[in-house]
């Protein structure tokens, strides 16, 4: 652990970066499975019930679920930095498009999605920096 001003803190390098990447992958895999099975559950907070309940909303939620499932399984089962990078980019873009439509999205949901997607993008990028190069 490092020290700063008398306070101990843990860096991504001190926590196994591979474990961080796998943990993000597990979360992404679970989200993907949920979106495939019950697409309204993850999409309702993001886009609202009126959109999430439509056929189009369900198709988009399932498509994002498939993306997250594949990215998550790749991050869990591979030692490739590419899977971690792809997940971090996807999360960053999710945060970016959420900001672009911020005013039109449900109040609590937009903050939840922005925080979770932005946080996962940052954690993924930090883990990527700490992972050994191939």
What is the b/e burial string over 58-76, where b = at least 16 CB atoms within 10 angstroms of the residue's CB? bebbbebbebbbbbbbbbb
* Residue (of 92, 123, 95) closest to 111 by Cα position: 95
Domain assignment present for 69: yes
Q: What does the pLDDT look like over 7-42, one tens digit per residue? A: 666 665 557 888 889 999 999 999 999 999 999 999
Domain assignment present for 28: yes
Number of domains in the chain: 1
Q: What does the pLDDT look like over 27-83, one tens digit per residue? A: 999 999 999 999 999 999 999 999 999 999 999 999 999 999 999 999 998 878 999
Domain assignment present for 7: no
Residue 51, domain extent: 17-130
């Amino acid at each position: 652990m490092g020290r700063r001003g008398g306070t101990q803190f843990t860096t991504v390098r001190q926590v196994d970066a591979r474990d961080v990447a796998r943990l993000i992958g597990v979360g992404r895999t679970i989200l993907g499975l949920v979106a495939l099975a019950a697409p309204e559950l993850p999409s309702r907070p993001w886009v609202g019930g009126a959109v999430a309940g439509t056929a189009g909303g369900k198709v988009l939620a399932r498509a994002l679920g498939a993306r997250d499932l594949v990215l998550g399984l790749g991050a869990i089962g591979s030692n490739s930095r590419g899977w971690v990078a792809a997940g971090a980019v996807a999360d960053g873009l999710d945060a970016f498009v959420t900001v672009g439509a911020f005013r039109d999205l449900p109040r609590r949901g937009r903050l939840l999605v922005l925080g979770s997607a932005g946080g996962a993008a940052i954690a993924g990028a930090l883990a990527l920096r700490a992972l050994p190069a191939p």
